[in-house]
Amino acid sequence: MARTENSVTFLRSDYQESAFSIKSVKLDIALNPAKTIVVNRMMVSKKLVGVNSTLVLNGQEQELVSVRINDEPYRGYELTPETLTLHDLPDEFELSITSTCAPDKNTSLMGLYISNGNFFTQCEAEGFRKITYFLDRPDVMATYQVTLRALKTDFPVLLSNGNLIKEEELGNGWHAAVWEDPFPKPSYLFALVAGKLTAIERVIKSQSGKDKLLQVWVEAKDLEKTEHAMESLIASIRWDEKRYGLELDLDRFMIVAVGDFNMGAMENKGLNIFNTKFVLANPETATDVDYANVESVVAHEYFHNWTGNRVTCRDWFQLSLKEGLTVFRDQEFSADQMGSDSGKAVKRIEDVRLLRQVQFPEDAGPMAHPIRPDSYQEINNFYTVTVYEKGAEIVRMQQTLLGQDGFRKGMDLYFKRHDGQAVTCDDFVAAMADANHKDLEQFKRWYSQAGTPRVHVKESFDGNTYQVHFTQSCAATPGQDKKLPFHIPLLYKLIGTDQVGQENLFELRDEKQTLTFKGLSKKPTLSINRHFSAPIILDFEQSEEELLTLLREDDDAFNRWESAQKLFIQAILNNRDLDPALIEALRSVLNDEKLDAAFKDLVFTLPAESYLYEQVDVIDPQLIHQSRRKVRSQLALNLQGEWLKTYQKNSSTESYKADAISAGKRSLKNLSLNMLLDSQHEASQKLALEQYQSANNMTDRYGALSAMVQNASGYAKECLDHFHQYFESDALVIDKWFGLQASRQPELNNPSSVLAHVIQLRQHPDFHIKNPNRARSLIHAFCMNNPGAFHQPDGKSYQFWAQQVVELNEINPQVAARLARALNRWKQFSPSYQNHMKSALKFVSEHKNLSSDVAEVINKALNS
């Protein structure tokens, strides 16, 4: 491994198998917030018998009490703040280590920690070493038996991985529970939970007829918000049985919700621990988006039971092996839950919007990396949209190339070969290739090359022969100056000719290739990269007439949406008014009875500012922001009558339903309300207030409140105050309250008003920076999700950002490192912004106690 100024760089090429294996682990954990005692008994063996290997165990923030080998004291160890090293070991032995840790002082929320008086763990990627000394790496897999002991009055519920095999009273108010996980797992999948919790339960029969106990554990006050999570879990189990023939393998499966959590959720074997944000939902407190997110994240973590747990990663460089594959699986599940082809298209569009808004900029910035990186300094920084969302796209391309049946054959072979193993991305692709007799060697470049490929398309037509000329390229990324051609699957269809065919697949493999069609009487309109079949930047200049043809006639809903996006981008970046023909085409979309409401909503959702930044060489954020606002106002004003009709048509007094059709109607209705306020329709202010006051669900209440806040309604402050007072005891709703104010668009005559308000809210008694959800709801929402307010010419927002990064760095380095990415692309901005950004980056870089998580992000930004 190579050393840098601030940290160690780990190289994929340096991977070496451990000289030791651990067959079984028995943990005895006496839980105490100030001093938890952990006794760890491991059956260890050398892989090469007779070789005098040294065993180096990982350990952090622990106090070592004793080490015993075969029940005899062992004192020949070396101890550092990071490792415990043992020498002169027998070929097979029982290693017993006793240590203590202090969960109540653990603000990093990695390892064992306290939240609201209860114990929780987070071990991925390297948190287990904060609980006990261990070979804390994903390729060391062992069976676990865990005994948890605690005061029963304080911690009546004791949970760990696997199946419950024993409970007992210990005297003096203490009790114990013994859990056994029969499946070998790496230490990152270990979990325990202890505290005052209650559960909703269901017993279902698996596909093979076995009874399975399902539980969702929460604090008692939240029990009535768990039904949707339970239904989502059952739906996920049924879908995985039907789609891939995969059953739940344990007697029970548990979900636990916690308010302090760095991630969305964690797939610990049989004991999934979730951020409350992705478990708790009822109509009064959760929006349609929240409901969809709960369903998606529950599915994601459950699907990990096979793609991540039963087959896991050899090393952390292979992270996308489990994450990209499982994101793809949860996307497919969510699409199937939509209930219609148009609903599936809506899901696909939403996934692509996220990829373009967040992953494309990452691919073009200083933190760019392949989905299987060759090196890292801090593994926590590689839980990225590249590994997850781009990883999912690369799995999806394999399904496109092989077909759904072929992909299933590849999955079957993957599990047959590797169940119970820690493997690599190459092993996954090999299973796909071998099961289908398909050469995917060139395709593997998607795993090793960073950056977003750019495909240039040029057409020619001579009255008979139509040709499409493709050229692919990929810009240099850190450490990779030259890229070899990718294997790119492009779905296409010709529209508007006398030889309109079916959708076809074109495999672009070379730097330059040409598609030729003969015998055409007129030039067709090309619908290319249908369904977003490849995660590329498509350079294809089509006329406004051709784009309008696609908007009106394309049977691929994705490309129909895409054509509108391209027309919006042209207007915004050229700072010009929308063409009347486009307005009329959009009017037709809004009035089309056959189109799904959710699809209409997405058609009128303008490209995000972060995505618009990727379309220019030098970013002037205020120019883009103001031009985008102008286009939105034109849509609002020119279609004002249609917005009122659409609002009225999609309004309903029926009881709340969380299904996709109802959610789509609410989404379109709230967009219409926003447009009416933007156009200053005379009835809009009263409509918004009435909707807020009479809403029977959070989607409509929050939709009305958001419309009032974003459009500076005179009723906004009154309703914000009421919202806070009414929901002050619900942390997740108060997160929405903070987030809405942090993400509002700036006043035209007072652009710094949002920053001033965020600084004021930073001092609010309900703001708690140690809670990741609350920090994200205010600080991240402003700095990372509100570019129009954040990127101001005076640079004061950047100073605010720097101060928050430094403060969070001392509390929770992972949360700080996410925030630190806000200025990654500073060199792409115009010089006046660059100077302020560089100053803020240097301020952070000069902080004396900078964590490795934050240091890596900041240093890569400054040195890019």
Cite the active site residues.
Answer: 301
Q: Are 35 and 97 in contact (CB under 8 A)?
A: no
CA 563 to chain CA centroid, nearest Å: 27
How far, in Å, CA of 687 to CA of 702, rounded?
14
Q: Spell 248-270 as b/e; 16+ CB within 10 A means b.
A: bbbebbbbbbbbbbbbebbbbbb
Query: Is there a contact between 204 and 180 (Cβ–Cβ < 8 Å)?
Result: no
The dihedral sign for the CA sequence 31, 33, 34, 38: positive
Q: How far are the Cα atoms of 277, 380, 385, 612 from residue 260, in angstroms, in the given order?
A: 10, 17, 22, 34
Q: Do β-strands 537-540 and 454-461 pair in parallel, antiparallel, or remain unpaired? A: parallel
3-state secondary structure at position 716: helix
Identify the burial level of 242 via C-beta atoms within 10 angstroms of its C-beta, where 0-12 means exposed, 13-18 middle and 19 or more buried: exposed
Q: What's the rounded Cα separation, in Å, for the pair 438 and 449?
A: 21
Whole-number Å distance between alpha carbons of 458 and 691: 50
Would you tell me how many other CB atoms lie within 10 Å of the CB of residue 168? 12
Q: Could you report how far apart the first and last alpha carbons of the chain are, in Å?
A: 22
Q: How far apart are CA 67 and CA 689, in angstroms?
A: 67
Rounded CA-CA distance 664/662 in Å is: 5
d(Cα 631, Cα 606) in Å, to the nearest integer?
9
Give dist(CA 307, CA 326) in Å, integer. 6
Nearest alpha-carbon partner for 60 in 32, 84, 96, 34: 84
Is the separation of the CB atoms in 572 and 607 below 8 Å? yes
* Token pair of 661 as six digits: 């059709």
- Helix locations, 93-133, DSSP H: none
**In sequence order, which ranges of 386-424 are alpha helices (DSSP H)?**
391-418
* Rounded (to 5) percent helix, strand, coil in the chain: 45, 25, 30
3-state secondary structure of 836: helix
- The tokens describing 295, both together, are 């369903």
Exposed / middle / buried, residue 53 (Cβ in 10 Å: 0-12, 13-18, 19+):
middle
Cα–Cα distance for residue pair 54/456, rounded to 1 Å: 55
User: Nearest to residue 486, comparing CAs of 460, 462, 507?
Assistant: 507
CA proximity to 831, closest of 612, 621, 575: 621
Could you tell me the sign of the dihedral formed by the alpha carbons of 363, 841, 844, 778, in that order?
A: negative
**Which of left, alpha, beta for 349 (phi over 0: left; psi -120 to 50: alpha)?**
alpha
Q: 409 with 415: CB under 8 angstroms?
A: no
CB 413 within 8 A of CB 431: yes
Beta bridge partners of 142: 185
The residues facing 28 across adjacent strands are 39, 147
Q: Which of 830, 764, 338 is nearest to 621 (CA)?
A: 830
* Residue found under tokens 């005379």: 682
Q: What CA–CA distance (Å, rounded) separates 828 from 815?
A: 25
DSSP codes of every residue in 174-227 = EEEEEEEEEEEE-GGG--EEEES-EEEEEEEE-TTS-EEEEEEEE-GGGGGG-H
